[in-house]
């Protein structure tokens, strides 16, 4: 069933605005209108929530998060970019593994299972897409998802 991506993105974003506000993190969305793909709406929600939740969790006060959604020729590209703590190069290949959690995450009081990105990856791959992460320690992280239209 075709799903309107801009709607899903704004729904997921609106659930995060409160959390972001409390941390004085600015949220910016650049969403191309009327992008739709054949996807499971519930799963897309879960995917975006996992990415945005991480962005908010791992970005200190005063930072910013940008989410964008645009059409490529055969696929849509979603990006969630933050100015957070970043991920060291040696850990980057493992963040999509089940139960993998970074040092900062392991020692934090707040809960977390280390399943968020593993689930995100599973959802993306179920839709025939790809997910990748770029990050610089102390600078920020960008997660890029590409999913084919059909």
Task: State the residues that interact with ligand ATP by CB under 6 A.
Answer: 54-55, 58, 82, 84-87, 95, 100-102, 105, 112-118, 141
**CB-nearer residue toward ligand ATP: 22 or 150:** 22
Three-state DSSP at 98 gives coil
CA distances from 39 to 5, 44, 126, 137, 147 (A): 10, 7, 9, 33, 9
User: Least Å distance between CB 81 and ligand ATP?
Assistant: 9
Helix axes 41-57, 116-126, angle to 10 degrees: 150
**CB-nearer residue toward ligand ATP: 3 or 105:** 105
User: Least Å distance between CB 69 and ligand ATP?
Assistant: 17
Three-state DSSP at 34 gives coil
**Residue nearest to ligand ATP as judged by C-beta position:** 102
**CB-nearer residue toward ligand ATP: 38 or 98:** 98
23 Cβ contact list (under 8 Å, min separation 6): 56, 59, 60, 61, 63
User: Least Å distance between CB 83 and ligand ATP?
Assistant: 10
User: Least Å distance between CB 63 and ligand ATP?
Assistant: 10
């Amino acid at each position: 069933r075709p799903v309107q991506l801009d709607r899903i993105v704004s729904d997921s974003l609106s659930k995060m605005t409160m959390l972001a506000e409390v941390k004085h993190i600015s949220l910016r969305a650049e969403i191309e209108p009327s992008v739709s793909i054949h996807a499971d709406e519930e799963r897309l929600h879960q995917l975006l929530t996992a990415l945005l939740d991480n962005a908010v969790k791992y970005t200190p006060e005063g930072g910013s998060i940008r989410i964008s959604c645009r059409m490529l020729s055969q696929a849509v590209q979603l990006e969630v970019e933050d100015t957070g703590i970043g991920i060291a190069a040696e850990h980057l290949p493992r963040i999509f593994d089940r139960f993998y959690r970074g040092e900062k995450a392991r020692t934090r009081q707040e809960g977390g299972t280390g399943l968020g990105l593993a689930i995100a990856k599973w959802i993306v791959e179920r839709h025939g897409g790809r997910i990748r992460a770029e990050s610089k320690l102390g600078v920020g992280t960008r997660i890029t998802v590409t999913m084919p239209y059909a």
